[in-house]
């Protein structure tokens, strides 16, 4: 008998404030055309004052609980992937735990920047498989608008805010790739690339610094590393590219998404794309895309899904699961 962590519920929350590319033309030497053609981004959501990472995470978590038909008392653990916590500590996850009214279990954050959700899902899988928890709420939530240098056109036009959540639950499987649940994970990092993408100075208490990125250097690493990690996870899962129903990638740049899908031998018709509407929401982007994909009726029970992400660290990874 094999223990599987099966995705039972998916939900998301996006702030009401939507900002179109054209808005940046007023303050920066940029154009809607440049942003669209270089990144695929058309608009993004920005959190309003007081709308914190933990608040958005709670709203996404409630949507996922509703989708699963579960109460918060059913949950054993909360893992929040974020690089923009409300405070340096306590963890955003423990703040979410309190706001949900959950009085037992445990909660902690995972910090792997844009790869955060993949890392969090892999950790949730390990908790379930090792018997530490039967049901885990896994959330990706970010307020990157709070670490933007609004004078830097090469970064400030690319990011957005939001949150997505999934609930995984322990179920018995056969050990075959036909099982529902997480079939394989692959995680990687290489700290030598720190200077390509980091937040300078300060602390994360509201006096934090600004995001700095050598975008074209990150781009160079992205397609190759994403396709490689996806292939490693698929091989571990015992599946091939023609069995994949959906790729749900980190949503940073449409050209990275297309290049990776091509290298994976998966047509774009099988890729969930939300970058045009959300921008890069870092650790929130994959659960947001999963939720939008499910709500649109594309992702169905039994589908084989490959997620892949890369971000600051550099950190990158992939999770393969059957919905």
**Contact positions toward ligand ACO, by CB under 6 A?**
30, 34-35, 38-39, 113-114, 153-154, 157-158, 197, 215-216, 218-219, 222, 252-253, 256, 280, 282, 310-312
Report the nearest approach of ligand ACO to the CB of residue 317 (Å).
Answer: 12
Kindly tell me which of 111 and 253 has the beta carbon lying closer to ligand ACO.
253
Report the nearest approach of ligand ACO to the CB of residue 152 (Å).
Answer: 8
Please give the backbone phi and psi of residue 10, each rounded to the nearest 5 degrees, phi first: -135, 140
Establish whether 114 is a catalytic residue: yes
Query: What tokens does 169 get?
Result: 């639950």
Task: List all residues 6 or more positions away from 94 whose beta carbon is below 8 Å from its beta carbon.
Answer: 78, 107, 108
Query: What tokens does 229 get?
Result: 């990690």
Separation of CA 128 from chain center: 20
Residue of 21, 123, 125, 250 with catalytic role: 250
Report the nearest approach of ligand ACO to the CB of residue 30 (Å).
Answer: 3
Q: Rounded CA gap, 291 and 293, in Å?
A: 5
Establish whether 280 is a catalytic residue: yes
Kindly tell me which of 89 and 150 has the beta carbon lying closer to ligand ACO.
150
Contact between 161 and 288 under an 8 Å Cβ cutoff? The reply is no
Q: Nearest 5 degrees, angle CA 139-CA 155-CA 80? A: 10
Contact between 210 and 147 under an 8 Å Cβ cutoff? The reply is yes
Report the nearest approach of ligand ACO to the CB of residue 22 (Å).
Answer: 13
Report the nearest approach of ligand ACO to the CB of residue 173 (Å).
Answer: 33
Query: What tokens does 98 get?
Result: 């309190």
Kindly tell me which of 282 and 307 has the beta carbon lying closer to ligand ACO.
282
- Residue 206, Ramachandran bin (φ over 0: left; ψ between -120 and 50: alpha; else beta): left
Residue of 21, 114, 125, 253 with catalytic role: 114
- Helix orientation angle between 285-295 and 116-129, rounded to the nearest 10 degrees: 80
Burial 146-170 (b: 16+ CB within 10 A, else e): bbbeeeebebbbbbbbbbbbbbbbb
Burial 265-287 (b: 16+ CB within 10 A, else e): ebeeebbbbbbebbbbbbbbbbb
Report the nearest approach of ligand ACO to the CB of residue 88 (Å).
Answer: 18
Kindly tell me which of 77 and 226 has the beta carbon lying closer to ligand ACO.
226
Kindly tell me which of 70 and 148 has the beta carbon lying closer to ligand ACO.
148
Establish whether 188 is a catalytic residue: no
Kindly tell me which of 153 and 263 has the beta carbon lying closer to ligand ACO.
153
3-state secondary structure of 114: helix
Positions annotated as catalytic residues are 114, 250, 280
């Amino acid at each position: 008998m094999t223990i599987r962590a099966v995705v039972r519920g998916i939900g998301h929350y996006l702030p009401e404030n939507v900002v179109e590319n054209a808005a940046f033309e007023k303050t920066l030497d940029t154009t809607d055309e440049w942003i669209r053609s270089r990144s695929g981004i058309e608009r993004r959501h920005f959190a309003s004052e007081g709308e914190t990472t933990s608040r958005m995470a709670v709203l996404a978590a409630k949507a996922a609980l509703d989708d699963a038909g579960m109460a918060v008392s059913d949950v054993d653990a909360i893992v929040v992937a974020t690089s923009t916590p409300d405070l340096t500590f306590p963890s955003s996850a423990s703040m979410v735990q309190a706001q949900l009214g959950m009085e037992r279990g445990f909660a902690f954050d995972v910090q792997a920047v844009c790869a955060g959700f993949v890392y969090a899902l892999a950790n949730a899988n390990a908790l379930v498989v090792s018997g530490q928890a039967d049901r885990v709420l896994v959330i990706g939530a970010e307020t990157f608008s709070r670490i933007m240098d609004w004078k830097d056109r090469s970064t400030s036009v690319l990011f957005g805010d939001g949150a997505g959540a999934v609930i995984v639950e322990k179920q018995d499987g056969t050990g075959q790739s036909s099982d529902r649940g997480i079939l394989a994970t692959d995680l990687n990092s290489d700290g030598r690339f720190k200077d390509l993408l980091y937040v300078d100075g300060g602390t994360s208490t509201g006096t934090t610094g600004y995001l700095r990125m050598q975008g074209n250097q990150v781009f160079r690493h992205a397609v190759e590393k994403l396709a490689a990690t996806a292939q490693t996870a698929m091989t571990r899962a015992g599946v091939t590219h023609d069995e994949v129903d959906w790729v749900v990638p980190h949503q940073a740049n449409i050209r990275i998404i297309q290049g990776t899908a091509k290298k994976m031998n998966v047509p774009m018709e099988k890729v969930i794309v939300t970058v045009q509407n959300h921008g890069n929401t870092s650790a929130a982007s994959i659960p947001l895309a999963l939720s939008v994909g499910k709500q649109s009726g594309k992702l169905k029970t039994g589908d084989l899904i490959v997620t892949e992400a890369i971000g600051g660290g550099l950190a990158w990874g992939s999770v393969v699961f059957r919905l």
